[in-house]
Amino acid sequence: MAEIVYPPVILAAKAMFRVLDNRLRVTGTEHIPRTGGAVIACNHVSYLDFIFCGLGAQPAKRLVRFMAKKEVFDNKVAGPLMRGMHHIPVDRAAGRESYDEAVRRLRAGEVVGVFPEATISRSFTVKPIKSGAVRMAAEAGVPVVPMSLWGTHRLWTKSRPRTLTKRHVPIHIHVGEPFWPTPQDDPDALTEDLRARMAKILDDLQADYPEKPETEDERWWLPAHLGGTAPTPEEAAELDARKDD
């Protein structure tokens, strides 16, 4: 398929990050397959994660087709861009259609990106995840590549004002080792394994992050178990049950 929109969007994003001097560090990129289909399963802490997850595949020269809720495609600004980059709309009322489209793309040798937590994690830990990533990989005969990122939430996340012009924010991305689900495997067990892999990567990124909150007000971007004021996973689940902003 023709790639008219995706390359300019990538160039624009990279230019913006250079202007803002976002200290982007991407590691583990050798785990992204250079050819053939693959599912990238990434944690979700920010509205900007699809941009940075996609950049994580750039060293392998792969374009990631993200599965995103249909409402994004309905937006007058974002919709044309999403369609132009050949991302996959997800209608929660008819999820099978988007699942089948993702499997078709994987079998055609494309990389499909998913956020298996489904929504942004308010606790900045890895929430319970859905099984779609491992099931579609098993059906298509491709690997799952776990990925986590950290720092993007400081720019734009749930229940916080956007700070898209904030400069010098470190953003770290790590790509984990791929694994190959098969139709014979237990999808629930594989899903828990994927969550554990994503959580381990995220823990390592948080431990190695070069900045700490400088004031009490800045502790919001650290998870509770690291001394921050972000909701605990239990508190975050209660907030998610009450509202979705």
**Domain chopping of the chain, boundaries:** 20-242
Checking DSSP bridges between strand 144-150 and strand 170-175, what pairing results, if any?
antiparallel
Q: Rounded to an integer, what is the distance from CA 60 to the centroid of its chain? A: 17
Locate 19 and state its tokens: 């202007």
Is residue 227 within 8 Å of residue 218, measured between CB atoms?
A: no
Q: Which CATH architecture has domain 20-242?
A: 3-Layer(aba) Sandwich (3.40)
Q: What is the pTM of this model?
A: 0.95
10-residue mean pLDDT series, the chain (245 residues): 90 88 95 98 96 95 95 90 95 85 98 97 98 98 98 96 92 98 97 98 98 96 98 97 69
In 3D space, the residue among 229, 238, 143 whose CA is nearest the CA of residue 182 turns out to be 143
Question: Which run of H or E residues covers position 26?
Answer: strand 23-27
Taking each helix axis from N to C terminus, what angle separates 132-140 and 95-107, rounded to the nearest 10 degrees? 40
Extract the tokens encoding 149.
């990122």
